[in-house]
Amino acid sequence: MSISDLKKQYPELNSSEILHVDIIDDGERLENIQDSTQDFVIANHFIEHCQNPIEAIRNMLRVLKKDRILYLSVPDKRYTFDIDRPVTSFEHLLRDYQEGPEWSKVEHLEEWTRVVGKMEDVEAERHIRWLTDTNYSIHFHVWTQTEMLEMILALKKKFDFKFEVELFFKNKDEVILILRKRD
């Protein structure tokens, strides 16, 4: 989103300084970026907002040049407002990838509203409608440090994603992964 669109969609950012970016695109699809053209991709607290994280990571690797870096930082749900939410299973992510994420979108919005927002009944229904109507970005998926590593390794094994894990570590309330694309 452009800065003005971001501030319209998320009024809580109005007082924040937001840096201008050169590329505006759907971060999950990266349709405006050609294959093997980027030296690095930074997905800082992004993948949890993706409705289809496997497809997003596939596309991030697709746009990277060989031997270049994908930087992922992902919040560990145990240290965030997501603490009471169940961890997203790899099977769930696989279904999002194979069938598309529409099958689970309402389920995610309901869980977010009831577990994180602590809303029930009419208030919850109204909020879910608002989230849907505004296409508000929530944490669709959540992990702990262990499940994040398991997911990344499962991607490598199941889909033969071409990367090496250069670094994996916990940084306070987040997990940081540095992946190097291989061909």
Residue 22 has pLDDT above 90, yes or no: no
Q: How far apart are CA 120 and CA 128, in angstroms?
A: 11
Q: What is the pLDDT of residue 137?
A: 93
- Residue 145, both tokens: 């440090």
Q: Indicate whether 9 pLDDT > 90.
A: no
Q: How far is CA 121 from CA 109, 113, 124, in A?
A: 14, 11, 5
Asked if CATH classification 3.40.50 holds for the domain at 22-181, the reply, yes or no, is yes
List, for residues 76-86, the tens digit of each pLDDT value: 999 999 999 99
Residue 183: per-residue pLDDT: 83
DSSP string for 22-50: S----TTT-TTS-TT-EEEEEEET-GGG-
What's the rounded mean pLDDT across residues 53-81? 98
pLDDT class of 21 with cuts at 50, 70, 90: confident
Nearest alpha carbon to residue 40 among 13, 25, 60? 60
- How high is the pLDDT of residue 154? 95
Q: What average pLDDT does this structure show over 108-135?
A: 97
Of 12-26, 41-55, 125-139, the range with the lowest mean pLDDT is 12-26
- What is residue 117's predicted lDDT score, i.e. its pLDDT? 97
Cβ-Cβ contacts under 8 Å for 23 (sequence gap 6 or more) = 32, 33
Given a cut of 90, is residue 115 above it in pLDDT?
yes
Of 16-30, 44-58, 78-92, minimum mean pLDDT range: 16-30
The domain spans of the chain are 22-181
